[in-house]
Structure 1
Amino acid sequence: MSLECNVHLSLIVSSTLDTWLQHVNRRIPRRLVAFERRCGETIWSGWRSAEFPETGATLLLLHGTGGARHSWTPVLERLDPSIGVLVPDLSGHGATRCFGHSRHGLNDIAAELLALLRAEGLARLDLVAGHSAGAALALTLALGRPEGLRIQALLGIAPSLVPPPAMYTLMLGPLLAPLIGSDLSVNATAALARSTGLVDRLLDSTASVIDAEQREAYRLLFGDAGHVRGAIQFMAATDLPGLLARLPQLPAQTIATGFLVADDDPWIPVKALMPILADRLPGAAIERMRGGHMLPEAAPQRVAAAIESLIARARANGIGT
């Protein structure tokens, strides 16, 4: 199917998802607007700057598995308002929906993102910042060296770059993914999210302090079966060993790369992550801080400062593809 993009004027959402949209859009930063756009088989939804700056910085924010646009709200509230921002719900997440396919691997979503960027007229990104699995996606996008897109800097925040054990990757993962991604399992998970403390326990397991409004956004979001299905499909299709093997190919001389690592992250243990970064991306700037996995929501001022600092460093050094 052609990747030619056009504006999609009607967004099909469940009542649960519609309630989530109303909840998160009440807190949309003043300089941003909600958008919907169809690119091939993907109907994108998210937030964007009302106008992207012609000479100022432009930023792409990529949330992690199970997150959505609202995951970046605390950071956006603290970010320099002169920075142009695109904050999509990733494929299968939030209000972004894919029709005719359920391909949610890193390369698949990177290709879909490229179509969205072209539709938005963005040929230059001063920074792509990704949280958790969004960091893996940011790296995948840069590794593809897409024609017509210049990426100047990458920032991985609590990056999900620690692969599961080899036994899971080779044997258990392919067996379990169809089971946990079945309609019965997805619908049951969404029902539990609506009626139990499942989402709060999940958030608590990140060792992060998240405010009540953000928690409510996740409760509403995980009550939508489509979002749950998309998150599971993304997890099942993510090939971290394959990405790690390609990381040394990242053009470090043309893309400034940095990581913000949480020392108390139980999901991405720092002892496992640091050797991977040192081995695969030895030239990357690494900043460590106390905190759990959900840094954009628990430490938004620190994340906003890291974003602005890396943009400034890349611009000062004239870095860019």
Structure 2
Amino acid sequence: MQDVIIVGAGPCGLSAAIECERLGLNTLVIEKYNVVHSIFLYPTNMQFFSTAELLEIGNLPFPSPNEKPFRHEALAYYRRAAEHYKLNIQPYTEATGIERHENGTFSLHTVNRQGQQHTYEARKVIISTGYFDHPNYLGIPGEDLDKVTHYFREAHPYTGMRVAIIGGSNSAVDAALEIVRVGAKVDMVYRGNDLSANIKSWVRPIFESLVMKGKIALHLNARVTEIHDSEVELTHNDGKIEMLHNDFVLAMTGFRPDRKLITSMGVTMSDDMDKPRFDPDTMETNIEGLYVAGVIASGRNANEVFIETGRRHGALIAKHIVANS
């Protein structure tokens, strides 16, 4: 019987495990892939918006020569944090179900890569699953073509190609900048009349300069409404239809948290079924002993919770568990 089982070994899940262990709680982390899998899925050359200090967990310094660290630095840092605190992590194990018993304890059902099933017992459970497994699909014809992806890793495969990027966020802008550098022709399509106001301040001038020079064709107030083998169909807000020659489509439309475990437990959701209800002082849901940490606590906009804020959830939870033990 574990004191605490944490589902998810992202930065916020690792932080929760560290805080629980610090207070003497026996902790097990269940992870579908490996530590910080969501960061592994970031673009290869991605630079964080936050400083290294704001990404730290467990008061473990994050050394970086850069004010804002890169993906590879974060992967190394969180691996080191897990090793430093000797966290008990069960990787490549998916949590498939959870149930609460009359005595208040929990059973967590899992399956590993070999298909072997196992059930773990715990007094408390923290759900800290991420969201990169679940992209926001457009729901348009042609989205299932091989030329379409919701994940951008690196620019090289798009050398000399005509690429449509759907979206107006940091991920879309970053992808556009990298792809242009390898000689691709970029059409960026966004339904709004301007890009997100949250675009990194040091990136926006570079992007706007490339638009002015014609290196990136920016299509505002427009949507991709159909994808073909060699074209994409744009529908402008005024109803005009435009066809663009195209080789690849990057749908940078964001992701959503997986709430399957918490909804199956009967966690109360917001009126639009988009956000779990929990006590912000303890992160405990309406199910006694079941907590949320990290992006799972956000609403439809996953950017409500960043690493720099979600990393603090673990301390609130650990303190509450010990105080009520």
Question: What is the TM-score when the length of structure 2 is the normalising length?
Answer: 0.32
Structure with the higher fraction of residues in strand conformation? 2
Larger Rg: 2
Structure with the higher fraction of residues in helix conformation? 1
Question: What is the TM-score when the length of structure 1 is the normalising length?
Answer: 0.32
